[in-house]
Amino acid sequence: ASGQEVDFVIERSDGKLAAVEVKATSKITAADFNHIKALADETGKMFLRGIIFYTGKEAIPFAKNLFALPIRMLW
């Protein structure tokens, strides 16, 4: 294990994973995905996607299966 952690890991019944982080910032950089990328590396094909919810206004794709989404999209 890398010792890094993400806020939430959601696991489907088939073992596939999604990682979720919540950040109180309006700007996201690639470095904000480091913990999610570490989980993706550790879990390999079981990793489906990583999402960071943030206070910005735009949905931003960062890399394959990595996205920053405005927290306001939840409601």
Model-level pTM?
A: 0.91
Residue 48 domain-assigned (yes or no): yes
Residue 48 belongs to what domain range? 8-74
Residue 3 domain-assigned (yes or no): no
Q: How many domains are there within the chain?
A: 1
DSSP string for 2-31: -S---SEEEE-TTS-EEEEEE-S-S---GG
Residue 17 domain-assigned (yes or no): yes
pLDDT by residue, tens only, the chain of 75 residues: 556 789 999 999 999 999 999 999 999 999 999 999 999 999 999 999 999 999 999 999 999 999 999 999 998
In whole angstroms, what is the distance from residue 68 CA to residue 51 CA? 6
Count of residues making up the chain: 75
Residue 16 domain-assigned (yes or no): yes
Residue 2 domain-assigned (yes or no): no
